[in-house]
Amino acid sequence: MDTGILLETGTNELEILEFHIDGEPVEGTPDSGPQRHSFGVNVAKVMEVIESPELEPQPGAAHPSFRGLIPLRSHILPVIDLSVWLDIKKTPAQRDNVIVTEFSKTVTGFVVSGVTGIHRVGWPEVIPPDGYMPKTGIQAIIGLVERDGHFIQLLDLETIIADLSPEEIDFTQPPSVMADREIKALVADDSATIRLMLKKTLERSGIIPTVVGNGDEAMHALRDISAKAQAEGRPVTDFVDILISDIEMPLMDGFSLTKFLKREPFLKNLPVILYSSIITDELRHKGDSVGADLQIAKPDLERLPEMAMRLTAEAAGRNAKRSPPDV
């Protein structure tokens, strides 16, 4: 999807596609018209927007939001009615839209009432959803953005897909790799589900994770570590060996976090792994430009322990040959 908007890497911005679901009027005010619910998704996940074909609920479907399969060029994609998943009673429309997305190695269509437009947003503008409780679906809302007098709820589509087709790591099986030395990882992700999964994945391989909720929290943690290391005359690796970060996060994204780390004299030698559900050639170029050591797709997160062990071992070898940085 060509939006015509080009973002520089490390500016802590993203493009969102705003769309809406028109719900039934507020109870007691039937003449007020449909209640508009505004949502947004990262443009990088959107392939295109098409008119919705005639789709009916599928009897016997695993979830009532499933509306069937449609062909689209080389794809046969499942179509999900977002209003059903979000428990919004959508008003009938002559023609809905389907937002066709591609992420986490899957192509999916989401039925919505209509598309509003595209906005360029700074991650600091994204309000974390803490304390904000919509009717349902809170686990899929990663933040809020105010635009033109209304709030846009940013949806984490990965949470919706995971709810419809759960694929969990089998933690009853022994890990494929085990650390032979102490490795301390700082992990940043805004999803509580992903944070818990990463914590379990790393711990079972003998890696010690410190988990935070977004890039801004990670940046402050790294600043505190750097200050403590300098004050005590100790190497940063006494406190942290590697940064593992999601790319899309409120307040500060993974690109900006990596850019900060690689510009700090006492932190720049720490390896960084970035991950995302939308690892593309363009995205890899952005990660490379800010100094990320490795970039992986979210479906490959179970491979994180072996990657962290390899990168930290390589970094330890380089650091052994390197004198302390001049500050």
Give residue-wise pLDDT tens across range 134-184. Answer: 444 467 888 899 998 999 999 988 888 888 876 656 666 778 889 999 999
- Proportion of the chain above pLDDT 70, given as a percent: 86
Please report the pLDDT score of residue 130 as a whole number: 67
Residue 98 has pLDDT above 80, yes or no: yes
Backbone phi, then psi, for 139, in 5-degree steps? -65, -15
pLDDT on residue 158: 85
Mean pLDDT within 18-34: 78
Asked whether the predicted pLDDT for residue 323 surpasses 80, the reply is: no
pLDDT at 7 over 50: no
Is 26's pLDDT higher than 50? Answer: yes
User: What pLDDT is stored for residue 250 in this prediction?
Assistant: 87
pLDDT attached to residue 28:
61
Work out the number of other CB atoms within 10 angstroms of the CB of residue 45: 21
- Residues 253 and 14: beta-carbon distance below 8 Å: yes
For residues 217-234, give the mean pLDDT.
96
- Is residue 39 over pLDDT 80? yes
Mean pLDDT of the chain: 86
Confidence of residue 284 (pLDDT cuts 50, 70, 90): confident
The confidence score (pLDDT) of residue 310 equals 96
CB 155 within 8 A of CB 41: yes
Band (pLDDT 50/70/90 cuts) for residue 8 is low
Q: Is the pLDDT of residue 198 over 90?
A: yes
Give domain limits for the chain.
13-164, 183-320
Encode the chain in three state secondary structure.
Answer: CCCCCCCCCCCCEEEEEEEEEEECCCCCCHHHCCEEEEEEEEHHHEEEEEECCCCCCCCCCCCCCEEEEEEECCEEEEEEEHHHHCCCCECCCCCCEEEEEEECCEEEEEEECEEEEEEEEEHHHCECCCCCCCCCCHHHEEEEEEECCEEEEEECHHHHHHHHCCCCCCCCCCCCCCCCCCEEEEEECCCHHHHHHHHHHHHCCCEEEEEECCHHHHHHHHHHHHHHHHHHCCCHHHCCCEEEEECCCCCCCHHHHHHHHHHCCCCCCCCEEEEECCCCHHHHHHHHHCCCCEEEEHHHHHHHHHHHHHHHHHHHHHHHCCCCCCC
- Does position 82 have pLDDT exceeding 90, yes or no? yes
Domain 183-320 grouped into CATH 3.40.50.300: no
Express each pLDDT in 268-279 by its tens digit. 999 999 999 887
This prediction has a pTM of 0.80
State whether CATH 2.40.10.10 applies to domain 13-164: no
Task: Check residues 20 and 7 and name the one with the higher pLDDT.
Answer: 20
What pLDDT does 174 receive? 79
What mean pLDDT comes out for the span 246-263?
Answer: 93
Residue 133 clears pLDDT 60, i.e. is over it: no
Q: Are the folds of 13-164 and 183-320 the same?
A: no
What is the C-alpha separation between 242 and 267, in angstroms, rounded? Answer: 10
CA distance 101 to 254: 22
Q: How far apart are CA 179 and CA 170, in angstroms?
A: 19
pLDDT band at 6 (very low <50, low <70, confident <90, very high): very low
CA distances for 294 relative to 148, 158, 237, 255, 289, angstroms = 39, 21, 19, 12, 12
Least confident of 102-116, 162-176, 200-214, 273-287: 162-176
More confident residue, 283 or 272: 272
